[in-house]
Amino acid sequence: GAVVSQHPSWVICKSGTSVKIECRSLDFQATTMFWYRQFPKQSLMLMATSNEGSKATYEQGVEKDKFLINHASLTLSTLTVTSAHPEDSSFYICSAIQRNTEAFFGQGTRLTVV
């Protein structure tokens, strides 16, 4: 199957700093990318849908000023957690699809805010 790469795999940052997570589709052009958040022992919650060249669509309850999403090219979307706090610590996973194909998931990024 197609490959989606997330970077970094894990990151530790101080409260108040910002962290950028990258999601790349390595062998296909992703018209749409999704960002999910997963709390320990819980399911994945969709945070936002990102279409190349347009603004992301955020799910209800997700602060768009806190979780900045940029999908500047067909192979790269970034999620920036701004002014991170310990409650933002979580596992963040992206997925990418071409037009009308299955979603391929990145390996996830574990964020720990101290």
Q: Which residues contact another protein (rule: CB under 8 A)?
A: 1, 4, 6, 32, 34, 41-46, 49, 93, 95, 97, 100-108, 110
Considering beta carbons, is residue 75 or 109 the nearer one to another protein?
109
Considering beta carbons, is residue 19 or 97 the nearer one to another protein?
97
Q: Work out how close the CB of 8 gets to another protein at its nearest, in angstroms, rounded to a whole number.
A: 13
Q: Work out how close the CB of 32 gets to another protein at its nearest, in angstroms, rounded to a whole number.
A: 7
Amino acid 113 reads V
Q: Work out how close the CB of 83 gets to another protein at its nearest, in angstroms, rounded to a whole number.
A: 26
Distance between terminal CA atoms of the chain? Answer: 36
- Write out the DSSP string of 32-94: EEEEEEE-TTS-EEEEEEEETTSPPEEPTT--TTTEEEEEEETTEEEEEE-S--GGG-EEEEE
